[in-house]
Structure 1
Amino acid sequence: MSQPTRAANQPYVVDVEAGKTYFWCACGLSARQPFCDGSHKASGFEPVAFKAEKSEKKFFCGCKVSQKVPFCDGSHNR
């Protein structure tokens, strides 16, 4: 599998809603970052589903190399 495209050099801060499912873009090609818009087709990547248990701020990975996907772990600083 190839490397994903780095969409940003920082996390995307998103206010998630309890009970809602989000699909994080793993390929970095989506125009709707940090979420999937279907651009991954034929890229070898698949979006990562996340269902919010409560309404809160979440920090979604923008560099696409976090070890804690779909969330930022600071990998963009390395």
Structure 2
Amino acid sequence: MSEVIITPNKPIAIELEPGTYYRCACGKSTNQPFCSGAHHGTGFSPIAFEVKEKKVVHLCNCGKSAHAPYCDGSHNK
């Protein structure tokens, strides 16, 4: 399995419309923080999540959250 490329240790705050999204898990996406398909052959898969109403979400950007794709503050530990 390839290594995850870790980006800055702070969550990504982004307002999303209702729908299904795919959070990049490999760090290689050209469409960060969302999957672009760049994970093929890495052993990683994107993390699917659903937003039911328009809102700001905080996506994990350190790869340590127990509640991925959402930030749980693990980057502070």
Question: Which bracket does the TM-score occupy, shorter chain normalised?
Answer: 0.7 to 0.9
Aligned residues: CA RMSD: 1.4
Identical columns (%): 43
**When the two structures are superposed, what TM-score results if normalisation uses the length of structure 2?**
0.87
**When the two structures are superposed, what TM-score results if normalisation uses the length of structure 1?**
0.86
Question: What is the Cα deviation at residue 7 of structure 1?
Answer: 2.2
Question: What is the Cα deviation at residue 8 of structure 1?
Answer: 2.4
Partner residue of 1:7?
7
Give the aligned length: 77
Unaligned regions of 5+ residues in structure 2, if any? none
1:67 and 2:71 equivalent?
no
Unaligned regions of 5+ residues in structure 1, if any? none
The 1-side partners of 2:43 and 2:29 are apart by: 14
The one-letter amino acid paired with 1:16 is: L
**After TM superposition, which residue ranges in structure 1, 4 or more long, deviate above 4 angstroms?**
none
